[in-house]
Copies of this chain bind each other. A is one copy, B any other.
């Protein structure tokens, strides 16, 4: 009974790192299946299967072009993820903003944007005990 009885959504689709890789690869334009196979180093059938999942969720779309099928990102389907995460945006800016001393850390965070993507354990400040958010 894996992954509760909910229809797969964009969150599921994006949870898999390979599928994120695919989306990253598609970010700057269309790609054929074989191009993605080369990029990811996976077996062609499995790339097709990943693409199917991404397609079912609406995150990518296909266009037939002769004997190729060109995939592209359908960005609006990713918006819900962005929006959902935005709920917490205020919280994380607050967390770093409410103390002047941490302004520097905020800038550091902005700069290290990229490393941040994959290493969430780094930007965590030592738990300060008292939290103004929860009186």
Interface residues of A (CB under 8 A from B): 2-4, 6, 9-12, 14-18, 20, 23-24, 27, 29-30, 57-59, 61, 63, 72-89, 91-92, 95-96, 109, 113, 116-118, 120-121, 123-124, 127, 131, 133-134
- Within the complex, the shortest CB–CB distance from A74 to chain B, in Å, comes to 6
- Does B123 lie within 8 Å of A76, measured CB to CB? yes
Known: A81-B81, A118-B9. A87 touches B4 (CB 8 A): no
Known: A80-B116, A120-B9, A123-B76. A16 touches B3 (CB 8 A): yes
For residue A96, which residues in chain B have a CB less than 8 angstroms away from its CB?
76
For residue A4, which residues in chain B have a CB less than 8 angstroms away from its CB?
16-18
Q: Which of B14, B29, B30, B85 is A78 in contact with, Cβ under 8 Å?
A: B85
CA distance A86 to B89 in the complex (A): 13
